Chains A and B, each alone.
Chain A
Amino acid sequence: MQLTESTPAPRSLRIHVLRHNPQDPQSHPHMQTFNIEEADGMTLFIALNEIRETQDPALQFDFVCRAGICGSCGMLINGRPGLACRTLTKDLDADIYLAPLPLFELIGDLSVDTGKWMRGMSERLETWIHTQQDEPDLDALEARMEPELAQNIYELERCIECGCCIAACGTARMREEFVGAVGLNKIARFRLDPRDARSDAAFYELIGNENGVFGCMSLLGCEDICPKDLPLSTQLAFIRRKMAFIH
């Protein structure tokens, strides 16, 4: 494309990346700056790929879907958690600072193992359907569900476990045992599900403590950062009321 006089020159971006490889004993955390030219509609995901392809093939960062669905590319963007694939460079200054999400095990550079954390949280909170039987009847037809209820469950099920809410949570930053909005949202989701036969007392056993819902201080970084715009504030308040005034 030829540049006309009225077309502004593309910006030169300076992308500062926190580099570190914990597997390498010689590696020490440091910032490395990459200069690239901004393109139309460029996301951080595109910018990082360009850097990897043209400047440093060793740069580590995660991505799968490129569309804000898989939650792999969560990172600190100018200090705030966000998804690289959903962040347009045009919305940022020319100097962009990238760092891995805190609290998760660092794989290298911008890549963290959110899966390990999420797995641990899911096992602690038993985030799966619990029934009265030991073995589910695989031949039985699943009970019908009202579309409105299914929609409400789906609304909470939209969580992609990107880890941004954990990185944005002041409580989690201070107390690493805290289950965070992602965990409490999952409890809200299963509590809503009529197929899950657990009582509130059973849910209380899982989150009725200061690593659970009563540890949440309602700083609401989770809600304001969530890339999927989940209604975390209302869900946390709802679960708090249900657990506090349990019968």
Chain B
Amino acid sequence: MKKLKIGNDYQQIRIVQQLNKPMSMPKNHITEPHAINRWPAWLDITQGVTGLALVLFMWVHMLMVSSILLGNDVFYFVARMFEGQYIFGRPYPLLVSFFAAAIFVIFSVHALVAIRHIPNSYREYRAIWQHSRSLQHADTTLWLIQVITGLLLMFFASVHLYGVFTHPGDIGPYASSDRIVSGVMWPLYLVLLFAVELHAGIGIYRLALKWGWPSGKNPRQMRRILSRAKWAISIFFIVLGLLTLSAYIKIGIEHREHAGERYLPAALQSLQHTPSEPRPEN
């Protein structure tokens, strides 16, 4: 019960009258705001744009990394391509560092704006957990998976990006495999694989629903199609990732005795000692 401060009888009568009088009519005329604060809108747009950019990047990244399945030479070609070898005539690993730094910036911005929505107290965690268990609703459960995978990515992806940023030249059939096996990075990549592909698949599905693109004539049917597509894409990339990781582990185990030695395609072996080659290949 709200406690009233009453100074004298008149005041008491006035308050009682106010409490009992019929509700005053709400204002129905317009008061246009002078200036609106667009920050909440910008944050929401930024979350979507950075998320979309990261999803597209991760899918391309997975396809490029999985080129190892087509053979060591193919992945060697891909790695040199991103170092600008076929544009500048020689590899510049610094390009990879720049790229990793750019991705890290986008990744950080996405994490910073997305963190607004995740539970930030024990009460909120308990509320969403109980709600999810009680409701048994697929999209609510998927959101919790997004929260968990997002938190995992904040730590695990940062380690990976830092590694790529500081050692941009260590990407190649042997260098990558040695890092995974002899450098014992495979557990990190295994966690990253599931976290990224689940987060990306669910994220792009939610992004589409959030902004209503594509809507179509029957939005509910479109949602079902998007949901199936989300699972298909996530499963495709997880299977591709597991095959790819297995291929690197196999190479890493076979190459364990020579860890640190770089891969050189047969076509380039004759040039191995040519003075014009400034650095050994990976």
Contact = CB atoms under 8 A, between A and B. Distances in A.
A119 to B, nearest CB: 10
A220 B140 CA distance: 8
A130 B28 contact: yes
B30 interface: yes
A202 interface: yes
B179 interface: no
Interface in B214-231: 215, 219-220, 223
A80 B136 contact: yes
B37 interface: yes
B199 interface: no
Contact of B29 (A130, A208, A219): A130
Interface in A204-220: 204-205, 208-210, 212, 214-220
A76 interface: yes
Interface in B29-64: 29-33, 36-38, 40-41, 43-45
Contacts of A204: 33, 36, 41
A116 B215 CA distance: 35
Contact of A237 (B33, B36, B210): B210
A244 interface: yes
Interface residues on B, range: 35 or more
A210 B33 contact: no
A22 to B, nearest CB: 14
Nearest to A220: B139
Contacts of B36: 201, 204-205, 208, 246
Contacts of B33: 201-202, 204-205
Nearest to A136: B28
B139 A237 contact: no
Interface in B184-221: 206, 209-213, 215, 219-220
B209 A79 contact: no
A198 B30 contact: yes
Of the candidates A210, A237, A245, the one having the most CB atoms from chain B within 10 angstroms of its own CB is A237
Do most interface residues of chain B lie in helix, strand or loop, or is the interface mixed?
helix
Interface stretch (B3-11, B123-131, B162-170, B248-256): B123-131
B143 A219 contact: yes
A238 B32 contact: no
B116 A210 contact: yes
Interface residues on A, range: 35 or more
B30 A131 contact: yes
A237 B28 contact: no
Given A79-B136, A133-B29, A170-B131, A233 B209 contact: yes
Contacts, number: 127
Given A80-B134, A170-B143, A240 B44 contact: yes
Contact of A208 (B30, B41, B117, B137): B41
B119 interface: yes
A123 interface: yes
A125 B134 CA distance: 30
Contacts of B31: 202
A233 B134 CA distance: 22
Contacts of B134: 76, 79-80
Given A126-B26, A240-B44, A173 B137 contact: no
Contacts of A215: 117
22 contacts: A80-B136, A129-B28, A130-B30, A170-B132, A170-B143, A171-B117, A204-B36, A208-B37, A210-B40, A214-B44, A216-B210, A218-B210, A219-B139, A221-B135, A224-B137, A224-B139, A225-B137, A233-B219, A233-B223, A244-B45, A246-B36, A246-B38
10 residue pairs, one from A and one from B, having the closest CB atoms: A237-B212, A79-B134, A218-B210, A174-B124, A214-B40, A173-B131, A244-B41, A214-B44, A205-B33, A173-B127
Interface of A: 76, 79-80, 123, 126, 128-134, 136, 168, 170-171, 173-175, 197-199, 201-202, 204-205, 208-210, 212, 214-221, 224-225, 231, 233-234, 236-238, 240-241, 243-246
Given A134-B28, A173-B128, 4 more contacts: A170-B132, A208-B40, A221-B137, A233-B223
